[in-house]
Amino acid sequence: MNSLSTVLALALLLPFAARAQQVEFKNPSDLNKPSGYTHVVIVSHGKLIFIAGQVGTDKDGKISGDFAEQARQVFSNIQAALAAAGAKPANLVKLNYYVVGLNHEKLLAIREARDKIIDKDHPPASTLAGVQALFRDDVQLEIEAEAVLP
């Protein structure tokens, strides 16, 4: 292979090599090992997708009074929003949770719903906050999401 062929081959392959490392998931050894999330997600290239806080309403605006059902609906809504942007749950890099009356039972319901859609080997970074109230009395959970498309 001559040098021109080598340069052309590298020029053609470089975008593919770079794409493989556009998002890195890291858990530094100096931090406690997380369960179900990643401490650090590094995005070096790609299209960022910001998804507004999703709540447990279906497309008709109906909402269940059951927290676990709201959690399932929230993640279904996140999947629909990702799809509208051409993304999948595996593209998630950050989740922010706001939970009214946060307790262990609600945490387990969130994890169960979340684990059905996320990449468990590379879970997104996340923040979970217990809050006093959200924008409506019947809304118990709101989740914001960020994703990256290569």
pLDDT at position 1? 52
Does any domain span residue 9? no
pLDDT, tens digit (0-9, with 9 covering 90-100), for 56-89: 999 999 999 999 999 999 999 999 999 999 999 9
Q: Which pTM does this prediction carry? A: 0.79
CA 32 – CA 62 distance, rounded (Å)? 40
Domain contains 6: no
pLDDT value, residue 22: 78
Domain that residue 134 falls in: 22-149
* 94 part of a folded domain: yes
Angle at 119 between CA 116 and CA 120, to 5 degrees: 80
Taking CA atoms, 110 is separated from 75, 85, 128, in Å, by 9, 24, 10
Would 107 be classed as within a structural domain? Answer: yes
Residue 58 lies in a domain: yes
Who has greater pLDDT, 94 or 25?
94
CA distances from 15 to 63, 109, 110 (A): 45, 40, 37
**CATH number of the domain enclosing 100:** 3.30.1330.40
Domain count, the chain: 1
Residue 148 β-bridge partners: 48
Contact 64, 73 (CB under 8 A): yes
pLDDT score of 18: 44
